[in-house]
Amino acid sequence: MRQSFMFLFLISFAVLSAGSAVGGSEPRSSWSGVYPHLAYFNDNRECGTGAVVPWADRLWVVTYAPHSPKGSEGENLYEIDSDLNLTAHPESIGGTPAARMIHRESNQLFIGPYVVDDERNIRVIPYSKMMGRHTGIARHLFEPSSKVYYATMEEGLYEVNVNTLEVNCLIRDGNSGAPKEGIKSDLPGYHGKGFYLAQDRLVYANNGQKGPKAKTDPTIPSGALAEWYGQGDWQLVRRDQFTEVTGPGGIYGNPNSSDQLWSIGWDQRSLILALLDKGQWSFYRLPKASHTYDGAHGWNTEWPRIRDIGEEYLLMNMHGMFWQFPNNFSREDRSGIRPMSTYLMVLGDFAQWRDRVVLGCNVTARSEFLNTLNAKGDMASPGQSQSNLRFIDSGRLDSFGKPIGRGAVWLNDSVKKGQASDPYLFAGFDMRSVHLAHQNDKPVSFIFEVDKLGDGSWEHLKTVTVDADGYKWAAFSPSEKGEWIRVHTNRDCSQATVFFQYSSHEKRTTQLDKIFDGIARPGSSAVCGGYIRARGENKKTLQFSAKTRENGKVKNAGYYEMMLDNKDSMSLRRVDDEQAHTFMQENMEVPEDVISVDQASLIYVDEKGKRFRLPKGDESFDKTGPVGSERISREVVTERDLFNAHGTFYELPAKNAGGFSKIRPVATHNRRIADYCSWRGLLILSGIADNAPESNKHIIRSEDGKAALWVGAVDDLWEFGKPVGRGGPWKDTHVKAGEPSDQYLMTGYENKTLELSHKSDKPVEVCIEVDIDGQGTWKTYRKIQIPADCTVKHRFPEGFNAYWVRTTADTETVATAYFIYE
């Protein structure tokens, strides 16, 4: 795919920037594949895309509100034609639907509570008959030609007659208002996601756990994978968080009862792939790209999918990564799963339609769920929830962030001698390594085996011996090949950890893509910036309190709004609305104390007093921006933040998913970005130089020529360039013997060099420790003797990675530990 990417990108970028309908005759305006006129809105706390299905020569989309099992106002069934005309159907009854299935025999699309025939006639199943948040639809065990099953997020199970739409409740969840009939479910976990029929059973997945601890601790037991044979309650298969459940038949259901079934989920260690084949369950592990999807309550994952997009492989998305998934994955052939790219958007569904992949996104939430670093709390949140679709060529699916994977088969686990771990993906990444640790009083040998072809034949790869109570890092060479890897030990072992770190070579440089031409550079003397926000009151506009810098002074440039005109293009207009302007001025200011800067690095201190250090970018960021303080943290896709510090964008998980300890860099831009937010499915940036080129269609200028904003998609941010930076925990810092430094970010950077020096007249030994799992599991990587009057440089091996790094000196001294990430 990579070989054809540039050609495909140039074509798609030219088309999407200019704007066109998808296979239609009328051109429509779009930016980075997002058509702002297709945005959908509601007045609830969230407006998500639940399902996206091509059917009857149209694209059908259903949206959802949070936790609305009895329906809601503002969520709709939408129909989109080839000219990209959007129709909200008056039959819409809202709710929280994400279920969809095409029933072959009756030739109908079931999407949420709606049933659409091949002539686009719509029938509705009212929530009074089938209460719940519809999460999955499956073929029927006994009467597949005339009935389907519906599963809800509350563990409810219904059967529906496809002709009469008569509903029968089989399992109920017992919530107030639930049907009186049916068996009350006592399945552990909650927050149902996937649902499918295969091998004479229904399989159901949920990914959450109720209770206050689930909102703070992502490591507690959570979720469930369950099955049902036609009577009684759900039967537990595995107590872990699972989401998608599907098979080779995809949205139609498996054509043969013997066809295999797949489910994807996770625990605190890694992703988990469940396979049901020939009546037997088996489980495999894959790395996580992002931790923003973690969280024991399950809210952060939306609806990951495995779907046909018209390629030779199926497309899977999970934990911020696109994956190629083989459509014949089975116990006999477990080959072919490959990472494609990492992404920032949040997806509810995706599908191929008219030669494009349509991504159903969950973007702007009215009450930002998790952002505690913004100004004025909810007052700075978007005024109205909204989301949109993104249309891309399939050739772009591997062009976002480079694949990165972190995960364990054992994480401080007790293991028995000779007992093999779950298989863990070994193929598809350029650089692979593993952190090994244990707490035995004798050396332990970790014995690795590989399944080279994915056929279940295991052979020895290597043995790595770790000293008593020890730690060791080991790399795998490119010549060490296999689809899967597993490990066992030569003795019973307590507190064993086998944590893999994978990545692919960075294709980016530090050069920005031309789509960002015109965003203010450090030192720009004439800049238009200011704060931005998606407006409420159902106005569907973007608010912009503009400021300019002219002749070294910051000036109030007035109040503007971005809006859609009758031609579906966007315009930025000065608006006479003193009340709105005052609101922006009083509520959108950036907090001043989120991060601080010293001569070593950036410093963030969380609410518990824990200190984190991040690299510096251009030295100009030590000073206030040209139009004032610049936005540091904001939720631009639902339930996770972008963190912008010293010229680098980071992905910041919510506290319930690890918080700042699981932050990772996205791109280093070194631009004076004053503010950023999402609106109509787009990412908007403020901070535009007055000399921005007229040719850049991503920059929208005001009608009076005095204000401008950048418009694109959140995953355009990868094109800013690879993450780089300099800094460390010490810079001519007085350190005490044996006292660890603050922790300094390491994950996500490619080429890493450490410079160590001190001002003592005798040698000083510095111990370098790394946090191998992002949960504070510190291990000694190396001890380095630093002579007096000498700087020692250490270049970390290619592929070495950990979440955080810290240093400790054996002598009280003034020392420098300075990391260069290139």
pLDDT of residue 11: 34
pLDDT of 467 higher than 50: yes
709 lies in some domain: yes
Q: Out of 702, 720, 738, pick the residue that ends a domain.
A: 720
pLDDT of 156 higher than 80: yes
Q: Mean pLDDT, the chain, as a whole number?
A: 94
pLDDT bracket for residue 177 (50, 70, 90):
low
pLDDT of residue 155: 93
pLDDT bracket for residue 506 (50, 70, 90):
very high
pLDDT of 19 higher than 60: no
Tens digits of per-residue pLDDT, 288-303? Answer: 999 999 999 999 999 9
Tens digits of per-residue pLDDT, 181-209? Answer: 899 999 999 999 999 999 999 999 999 99
Same domain, 422 and 566: no
SS3 281: strand
pLDDT of 23 higher than 60: no
SS3 685: strand
Tokens at 727, concatenated: 């800094």
Same domain, 652 and 666: yes
Q: Could you tell me what percent of the chain has a pLDDT over 70?
A: 95
Q: Out of 703, 720, 737, pick the residue that ends a domain.
A: 720
Same domain, 706 and 735: no
Count of alpha carbons within 13 angstroms of residue 774, beta-carbon side: 31
Tens digits of per-residue pLDDT, 360-397? Answer: 999 999 876 555 566 555 567 899 999 999 999 999 99
706 lies in some domain: yes
pLDDT of residue 374: 61
Same domain, 559 and 535: yes
pLDDT of residue 429: 98
Exposed e or buried b for every residue in 415-441, given b needs 16+ CB within 10 A? beeeeebbbbbbbbbebbbbbbbbebe
Q: Out of 468, 503, 538, pick the residue that ends a domain.
A: 503
Tokens at 634, concatenated: 């904001």
Q: What is the DSSP string of 554-589?
A: EEEEEEEEEEE-TTS-EEEEE---HHHHHHHHHH-P
Residue 681 and residue 383: Cα distance in Å, rounded?
14
pLDDT of residue 24: 52
Contact indicator for 558, 546 with CB cutoff of 8 Å: yes
Same domain, 675 and 553: yes
pLDDT of 352 higher than 60: yes
pLDDT of residue 180: 77
Same domain, 577 and 643: yes
Tens digits of per-residue pLDDT, 665-720? Answer: 999 999 999 999 999 999 999 999 999 999 999 999 999 999 999 999 999 999 99
pLDDT of 515 higher than 50: yes
Structure-token match 């100009």, residue found: 620
| Choice among 31-45, 403-417, 584-598 with the minimum mean pLDDT | 584-598
Residue 47 and residue 64: Cα distance in Å, rounded?
6
Same domain, 784 and 714: no
Task: Domain of residue 437: give its range.
Answer: 404-503
Mean local confidence (pLDDT), 129-140: 97
pLDDT of residue 377: 55
232 lies in some domain: no
Q: Residue 471 belongs to a domain with what CATH number?
A: 2.60.120.230
pLDDT of residue 373: 64
pLDDT of residue 18: 36
CA distances from 254 to 200, 391, 533 (A): 11, 28, 45
pLDDT of residue 2: 37
| Strand pairing report for 648-652 and 640-645 | antiparallel
CA distances from 118 to 56, 103, 351, 352 (A): 5, 11, 18, 18
Same domain, 565 and 672: yes
Residue 528 and residue 518: Cα distance in Å, rounded?
11
798 lies in some domain: yes
527 lies in some domain: yes
- Find the helix or strand (DSSP H, E) in which 5 lies: helix 2-18
pLDDT of 550 higher than 80: no
Contact indicator for 104, 93 with CB cutoff of 8 Å: no
Q: What is the DSSP string of 450-493?
A: EESSSSS-EEEEEEEEE-TT-EEEEEE-TT---SEEEEEESS-E
Looking at per-residue pLDDT, the higher value among 782 and 180 belongs to 782
The dihedral region occupied by 17, where left means phi > 0, alpha psi between -120 and 50, and beta the remainder, is alpha
Contact indicator for 354, 376 with CB cutoff of 8 Å: no
Same domain, 652 and 750: no
The four Cα atoms 188, 189, 190, 194 give a dihedral, to 10 degrees, of -90
805 lies in some domain: yes
Same domain, 673 and 702: yes
Contact indicator for 378, 367 with CB cutoff of 8 Å: yes
pLDDT bracket for residue 497 (50, 70, 90):
very high
648 lies in some domain: yes
Which of 424-428, 636-640, 651-655 has the highest mean predicted lDDT (pLDDT)?
Answer: 424-428
Same domain, 749 and 659: no
pLDDT of residue 567: 76
Same domain, 425 and 568: no
Tokens at 746, concatenated: 């390491």
Q: From 720, 753, 595, 745, select the one nearest 662 (Cα to Cα).
A: 745
* Residue at 601: amino acid letter: S
Q: Which residues contact 3 (CB under 8 A, 6 or more apart)?
A: none
Tens digits of per-residue pLDDT, 47-90? Answer: 999 999 999 999 999 999 999 999 999 999 999 999 999 999 99
Tens digits of per-residue pLDDT, 730-782? Answer: 999 999 999 999 999 999 999 999 999 999 999 999 999 999 999 999 999 99
Positive/negative CA dihedral, 510, 508, 424, 655: positive
- How many domains does one find in the chain? 3
Tokens at 99, concatenated: 């279920």
What's the 3-state SS for 699-733?
EEEECCCCCEEEEECHHHHHHHCCCCEEEEEEEEE
Residue 609 and residue 600: Cα distance in Å, rounded?
19
